[in-house]
A and B are shown apart, each in its own frame.
Chain A
Amino acid sequence: GDSVTQMEGPVTLSEEAFLTINCTYTATGYPSLFWYVQYPGEGLQLLLKATKADDKGSNKGFEATYRKETTSFHLEKGSVQVSDSAVYFCALGSGGSYIPTFGRGTSLIVHP
């Protein structure tokens, strides 16, 4: 079945550092890929998405490129802020399912 694997956290960075959170997936067919973010005390919210190979999703300075050849969708940001501290979830959605498959989440802590 479909699965998503994220790097273990927490990821701890200083403000203005470069961020990469790795995400790889296993799926049949051609899934869509998502990154959700969960800020402290809140539910998850969609950060960005990509629906086909080589698509780049972007939002709030975050980017992720759908790489079919490496089955990856790594999240990147050039300069993180303290306000980016949150848990980030990679997820995939397929035409054969009504429920997305979520990774376990990666906690990001950004220090001033």
Chain B
Amino acid sequence: KAGVTQTPRYLIKTRGQQVTLSCSPISGHRSVSWYQQTPGQGLQFLFEYFSETQRNKGNFPGRFSGRQFSNSRSEMNVSTLELGDSALYLCASSLGGASDTDTQYFGPGTRLTVL
């Protein structure tokens, strides 16, 4: 069974630009979550999509948005990039059940560098 894939693996952008990251979940998984990982803040939850609807949202500004398609693939978009957006962005997929019984499977991440 193929794992979670994320594209691209690396991105370099300049301040003010926008970026779109893509995540393909494990086949059969209906939930996709996005996380931002930085050395200073650790792993921070951005949002979660289930069956094309945003079901949970973290505490990030509106510049961060996402969507999920009918095949469960998901994209996240960051507009008006800031230097502080430089991070590893991780996508995780799961069946979509409660977190005490479900397991999240992570992709390798997209490394975004903002210059």
> What is the interface of chain A, defined by CB distance below 8 A to chain B?
30-32, 34, 36, 41-46, 49, 51, 89, 93-100, 102-105
Contacts and interface: CB of A to CB of B under 8 A. Distances in A.
B100 A93 contact: yes
Interface of B: 4, 31, 33, 42-43, 45, 48, 50, 55-56, 90, 92, 96-109
Contacts of A102: 42-43
B42 A43 contact: no
B108 A41 contact: yes
Contacts, number: 69
B43 A93 contact: no
A43 B90 contact: yes
A98 B99 contact: yes
A98 B108 contact: no
B95 to A, nearest CB: 10
Contact of B102 (A30, A43, A93): A93
Given A44-B106, A105-B43, A98 B90 contact: no
A43 B106 contact: yes
Contacts of A32: 99-101
Contact of A95 (B48, B96, B98, B103): B98
Contact of B90 (A44, A99, A105): A44
B108 A43 contact: yes
Contacts of A34: 103
Nearest to A30: B100
A31 B100 contact: yes
A87 to B, nearest CB: 9
9 contacts: A32-B100, A44-B92, A93-B101, A96-B98, A97-B99, A98-B48, A98-B96, A99-B48, A102-B42
